[in-house]
Structure 1
Amino acid sequence: MILDTPPPAVRPAPRANEIAYVIRRGDTADQLSRNYLVEGRDWRALLRLARVQNPRRLPTGRQIRIPRNWLRYRIEPARLASYRGRVAITSEGRETSAVIGASIGEGMFISTAANSFATLILADQSRIVLPSQSRVRVRELRRILLTNAIDYRLEVTNGRLETKVQPLEGSSGRYRIETPVSMTAVRGTEFRVSFAAGTAITEVLSGHVLVTDADGQRRELALDPGIGAARDGEGAVRTEPLLPAPALEDPGAVKLDDIVEFRAAPTPGAARYRLVIASDAGFIDNNVEQISEDGHFSFADIPNGNQFARISAITSSGIEGFAQSYGFKRRLASLHASVDTADDGYRFRWWGSGSGARRYRFQLLGDTPGAPPIVDRVGLEQDSLTLHRLAPGVYHWRVGLLQIEADDTVETWTNPEKLTIAAPSRTRKADR
């Protein structure tokens, strides 16, 4: 259900640009200014904030609010933890290719091409995932020296960003995600932010977030878990509950075929579905993603091994709902078969892909798929078999595969195929 939300009441937040500090025993204005203030701000400014005159006697326990731009900080670059596909890192107009472990600092852009992914780990162990066709600018990755609080600011210029934020310690930490029309501030939560066609979307999976206009001070909107909000360039906001996570049909089936397929169970309210495949349960190392309107997904070139699939539903307004993850096993052992006529018989052929030793079994059955085998050949190494002098009638046939590699054994069969052999026509001799 979409709720057309009226513009929230204006709630100015001037203190967002201040740091609260409680004076400790032994603090002096000179010591604080030398260790924590930027050049151009000295102990006299602190005295005015503390409302005292003696620089050697600051009142223990008194709280003072110091403008953030007065305070020194250290920069804490992010780390490129994983990537797939084409990922570009741009710094000062110069583009470089992605390298695992690369340092991502302030002012840099990171962008992903189609069917590409990148995962960043921040210094506080918060995680950021950039899905396909996304571009993010790193604005600030700082730690305030006075309070040891983080001050992170990222901008989504296009596409999406998924993040899991570590809980912030103290009241002075900030974690902000901006778009050209919105700013999302959190204190420890899991959420997504996207920007496309002039609209910014925030989806809250856990915790609470605060969404404002791009300047961070107008039309403040608090979002609870399970709520998504869309904000356009004019400031209009609409919210709606997130759709529940869809289910996948038979998610535990071993994926043997050349094409890995999934199908989502229908979810009321869904206009389309998104499925992501990753090599890890935390979806840090994403391999591929796809969007489908009918919930059917087909992927090529999925490597062997234990993989993970994550499915979510998207409403017509573009707000994506909760996701559900499944583990599955990928073991390429495809098998295809056909039959052709041959001299005085029928030639059955089979082929497929997979590694390890491959042995085949051929069965010719009676007139129903469940009939006992008329022909049963096992341990075949070749890729064809010709049967001669088959009597007219209706048959079914299938080919089995036993694929062995190390300690892994896979057995699969083709679906039974029908073969009809017509009786030869009789030519009646002309009357003499």
Structure 2
Amino acid sequence: MALALSVPFATRAQDAGADGLEHTVVAGDTLEALARNYLDDARQWPALQQANRIADPRRLQPGSRILIPNALLPTRPARVQFTHGQVQATLPGTQAPHTPAADQALPEGTRLQTGSDGFISIRLFDGSTVRVQADTELRLSRLRKQARPGSAQSVIELQRGVIEPSVPAARDGSRRLDIRTPSATASVRGTRFSVGAEEDARTLTAVTEGTVAVQGSVGATALVPHGQGLAVAANGQAGSPQALLPAPDPTHWPASVHDADFLRLHLPPVPGASAYEVQLARDADLTQVLRAATSRSSDATLPAVEDGDYQLALRAIDVQGLPGQRTVRPLRVKAHPIPPLYAAPASGAILAAGKLRLVCTGVAEAGRYRLQLASGGDFGQPLLDTSTDGACEATTPALPPGRYQWRVASLRRLADGHWDQGPFAAAQGFSAVAPPQAPATVEVRGATHLFWPAQPGQRFELQAAANADFSPLLVDATLDRPEWSAAALPPGRIWVRIRTLDTSGLTSAFSTPHLLTIPARVQAGDGLPVTSGDGQSLQRP
């Protein structure tokens, strides 16, 4: 008898399905003791007597079984761990939904609904955590305590969406959680898994730890072990367990991101994946999810978050919709203070080699700017690395011809006086080339035809005037060839200057002016011009 009395109540209680628990009687058991241990109230022993039709409550037969109805088991509310985005809770006996707060009690019968950006994690009485994903609707239909301290029997009715429970293991199997969808039931005693109620009425179960028993509305129960998943069709027929897609390789994942507007993630694809689920959370257990998205590509874009350290989670989804194994890695977001915008030189600009001015826009939250210049994009050994207060600008050293990259970052002063640098803007390139030269020599042929040397593709601007200050201009022409004729101008002395319009887009200075004498078209025998009565040179005989 002493041995029998030492056996805990929990080890003598067996699950009786939807009805409740069955307790195996040992010598010394009383209904009052059973009511105290199972129902938390010894005064409820008459309810046990009535439920089991016991004629003499003082004489319990050892070895017999007593039903502890679920309806009599005390309820234990779930509690909100974390909530984000659009989340609504409707408590039993009320019709008005409200936004739940952290540590709020959610009694049996509570309905939860999340929006497209919503997430909530709740903790059950036995320590299980249920992470409710976006676009999900469920009801906490049963939250009951069992005899063993800390144990519970919980049932969640999942109408649509996805939930991810983590159920701590118990040696005696006393912890129990059932997830019921319109087409199936998933039952666990210690595991980590996800259950999804799809729009097409299928139920998808993916197990990442432990084992889950899945039973469709028709057919036998299937055990789904770690690393496998199972789909239950809309008609309630369960398929066969199949291997989940492997966890994505995080080798080339970014350690940090710097965009202040979006989280743009370029992650390696997984063979066999038809879609990807990405989540950003504050913790590695993903109980505090802030951002989530599902996309056809492993490249994902999420709304921005505040600067800080987060956990990035990714898993591939196969053609049936079963989510695979998940990879979780730290991710740092550092986007502030935001970098300035580039003002000059423009991206891809071609400039004359020499000292150049780098100019960028100001940023409201910045008090200092850091500018770097490198040859060929190697910022490990920059040609210029300078910080400037006030205006966002700097002058480079004399640059020889070549290709260059420059980048700029903002700095803000923190409360402790230290400077906090934000991310560099994406580097922007330009080219420095030898400046074009104006024609140094001009050849005059036939008194009015000018020729000068040129490089292929060069064009020219030519100006001609009667005065050395080139005011007013007689000619201001753009030439495609290195030659020009002054034959159309009246006879006399004119000044001519030329500058080169290079294929690089650069323009040289004007050449030294050349003095050109244009002869008269009609001349006397002595070579002097023949004039009309008004003194103008004749243009034809």
- TM (norm. structure 2) is 0.66
* 1:316 correspondence with 2:319: yes
Quote how far apart the aligned CAs of 1:95 are: 0.8
Partner of 2:42: 35
1:90 maps to: 90
Code of the aligned partner of 2:306: P
Match of 2:238 in 1: 237
Q: Secondary structure at the match of 2:313?
A: strand
Q: Any conservation in 2 of the 1:190–1:207 contact (CA below 8 Å)?
A: yes
The number of residues matched between the two structures is 408
**Structure with the larger RCO, 1 or 2 (CA within 8 Å, 6+ apart):** 1
> In the alignment, which of 138, 141, 146 is matched to residue 139 of structure 1?
141
Q: Which moved more, 1:166-175 or 1:286-295?
A: 166-175
Q: Aligned match of 1:360 in 349, 362, 370? A: 370
From 258, 263, 284, give the equivalent of 1:260: 263
Q: State the partner residue of 1:272.
A: 275
Q: Give the corresponding residue for 2:118.
A: 116
Q: Deviations over 1:67-122 (max 9, x none)?
A: 634x6211111111111111111123211122112111111111111122101011
Moved more, 275-284 or 92-101: 92-101
- The farther-off stretch of 397-406 and 134-143 is 397-406
- Following TM superposition, by how much is the alpha carbon of 1:235 offset from its aligned partner in structure 2, in angstroms? 2.0
Separation (CA, whole Å) in 1 of partners of 2:406 and 2:53 = 85
Deviation (angstroms), 1:378 = 1.5
2:409 is aligned, of 387, 392, 401, to: 401
Deviation at 1:429, TM superposition (A): 4.6
Q: In 1, Cα distance between the equivalents of 2:291 and 2:43?
A: 46
For 1:339, give the aligned amino acid.
A
Residue of structure 1 equivalent to 2:334:
331
State how far apart, in whole Å, the 1-side matches of 2:156 and 2:362 are: 47
The structure with the largest alpha-carbon Rg is 2
Matched letter for residue 105 of structure 2: S
1:360–1:379 CA contact under 8 A, matched in 2: yes
Kindly tell me: are residues 374 and 257 of structure 1, through their superposed partners in 2, closer, same or farther at Cα, counting changes over 3 Å? Answer: closer
Work out whether 1:350 is the aligned partner of 2:357. Answer: no
Per-residue CA deviation, residues 342-369 of structure 1 (Å, 9 max, x unaligned), is 9x99874435879675422243x66x44
Per the alignment, residue 128 of structure 1 pairs with 130
CA distance in 1, matches of 2:166, 2:141: 18
1:162-216 C-alpha deviation (Å, 9 max, x unpaired): 11012246355531011111111111110101102211111111111111135xx
The Cα shift of 1:399 comes to 2.2
Q: Is the 8 Å Cα contact of residues 256 and 330 (structure 1) preserved in structure 2?
A: yes
Secondary structure of 1:74's aligned partner: coil
Contact kept? 1:276, 1:310, Cα under 8 Å:
yes
Question: Contact (CA 8 Å) 1:194, 1:201: kept in 2 or not?
Answer: yes
- How far did residue 227 of structure 1 move? 1.3
Structure 1 residue corresponding to 2:426, chosen from 378, 391, 414: 414
Q: 1:355, 1:416 → 2: CA distance?
A: 23
Alignment pair present for 1:45 and 2:52 = yes
> What's the counterpart of residue 166 of structure 1?
168
> Counterparts of 1:67 and 1:370 in 2: how far apart (Å)?
74
1:4 matched to which residue of 2? Answer: none
Q: By percentage of residues, which structure has more strand?
A: 1
Q: 1:179 to 1:339 in 2, by over 3 A?
A: same
Residues 353 and 281 of structure 1: CA distance in aligned 2, closer, same or farther (over 3 Å):
farther
Equivalents in 2 of 1:266, 1:280: separation in Å? 24
The letter of the residue matching 1:35 is A
Counterpart amino acid of 1:288? Answer: R
Residues 85, 115 of structure 1: 8 Å contact kept:
yes
CA deviation vs aligned residue, 1:142-180 (integer Å, no higher than 9, x gap): 113599741100011111001101224635553101111
Quick one: distance in 2 between partners of 1:371 and 1:115? 40
TM-score of the superposed pair, with normalisation by structure 1: 0.81
Displacement of 1:35 in angstroms is: 3.1
In structure 2, the gaps of 5 or more residues are: 1-14, 36-40, 439-458, 463-482, 487-517, 519-541
Query: Is residue 30–residue 42 contact of structure 1 (8 Å, CA) maintained in 2?
Result: no
* SS, match of residue 65 in structure 2: strand
The answer to whether the Cα contact below 8 Å between 1:398 and 1:417 also exists between their aligned partners in 2 is yes
